[in-house]
Amino acid sequence: MKKMILAVIIILAAGINFGQSKVGTTAANFLTIPVGSKATGMGGAFVAVANDATGLYWNPGSISWLERSEFNVSYSEWLVGTKFNWIGLAFKITDNDAVGISVNQLDYGEEEITTPEEPNGTGQRWKAQDISLAVTYSKNLTDRFSIGGSLKYIRQQIWNESASAFALDIGLLFHTELDGLRIGMNISNFGTEMKLDGKDLLQSVDIDPANTGNNDKITATLNTDSWTLPLIFTVGLGYDLIKMEDWKVVLATDAVYPNNQSSYLNLGTEVSCKRMIALRVGYNSLLKTDAEEGLSAGVGLMYDFGPVYAKVDYSYNQFGIFDAINRVSVSVGF
């Protein structure tokens, strides 16, 4: 056990900030946007905590540990006027099994189309969005160890062009013999490549402009490059520093190793009272090259009605030169 914990600590420390940044080398980067106000209030240090329905995103191996089924809706005004939405349902089948379904969407909005000939608008509008649909299964293999996986369909669309892919997430959660200490691991977006296609890529070309007798209106298709998905490996520790009847203090840290940027650390903590109110603070993207993310904070309110409970969570996240990100999440457990 001590050797396993030591190995995780070494992994957390190793490799951070030593890799070359590869920003802009993958498609579907909306898959890396953090989900849920609880997790983001803790700075995104959630892979070994993952104790609500957003575990479908953070660690699919965690939802089998939920006490009840839970439905979660999260909304945020993302960067430069875009909107980010996440909906998830984690459903307990047995004490040791759970399934889930989730939808992840980034909406870029729509704008009127203008051309040099019609600078005031053509009367048409263009829009763009990214969306991911996932189905998840999680199982407790022992009284301490669980595993889970998510199969995802991913689609990006901009006006008449679109690209799609399939991907797999695999998550593990281990409750160590040291009371309150958990180890979580997750690999996400292992899948196929994405390649844009659509009717606007059909163009009329003259393959031999020097020959006046040939067909100068041959239809050709512009060939676009294929792009990989943002593959991310995350390993983290979660520890219940204080666990009393009325008070609970959780500490967490994640080491994140993406294939499209430098590695970094997330740090977070949560203090809760009587399972009714929680205060959270964290730091996102510590040691990340050219990071815009930074300090985060949040608050959560919960009330248990008996057969069901309801939660409302809010988080605030700094984002450098951009406006701060405000997230709101609503959860219902049953």
Q: Give me the pLDDT at residue 103, please.
A: 98
Question: Cα(250)–Cα(234) distance, rounded to whole angstroms?
Answer: 19
Using an 8 Å Cβ cutoff, are 137 and 93 in contact? no
State the Rg of the chain over Cα: 23
Q: By C-alpha distance, which of 302, 280, 288 is closest to 39?
A: 280
Tell me the residue length of the chain.
334
* Concatenated DSSP letters of 32-100: GS---HHHHHTTT--TTT--STTHHHH-TTSGGG-SS-EEEEEEEE-GGG-EEEEEEEEEESSSSEEEE
Using an 8 Å Cβ cutoff, are 170 and 60 in contact? yes
Q: Give me the pLDDT at residue 12, please.
A: 52
- List strand residue ranges (DSSP E) for the chain, in order: 70-77, 83-92, 97-112, 125-140, 145-158, 161-175, 181-191, 197-198, 202-205, 218-221, 232-243, 247-258, 264-273, 277-286, 293-304, 309-319, 325-333
Q: Give me the pLDDT at residue 273, please.
A: 96
Question: Cα(312)–Cα(154) distance, rounded to whole angstroms?
Answer: 28
Q: Which residues pair with 279 in a beta bridge?
A: 271, 299
Using an 8 Å Cβ cutoff, are 190 and 231 in contact? yes
Q: Give me the pLDDT at residue 43, please.
A: 97
Q: Does CATH number 2.40.160.60 belong to domain 2-17+34-113+125-193+230-333?
A: yes
| Each residue's pLDDT expressed in tens, for the chain with a length of 334 residues | 555 555 455 555 554 544 455 777 899 999 999 999 999 999 999 999 999 999 999 999 999 999 999 999 999 999 989 999 999 999 999 999 999 999 999 999 988 888 888 888 888 888 999 999 999 999 999 999 999 999 999 999 998 899 999 999 999 999 999 999 999 999 999 999 999 998 888 888 877 777 776 777 778 888 889 999 999 999 999 999 999 999 999 999 999 999 998 999 999 999 999 999 999 999 999 999 888 999 999 999 999 999 999 999 999 999 999 999 999 999 999 9
Tell me if the pTM is above 0.85: yes
Residue ranges per structural domain of the chain: 2-17+34-113+125-193+230-333
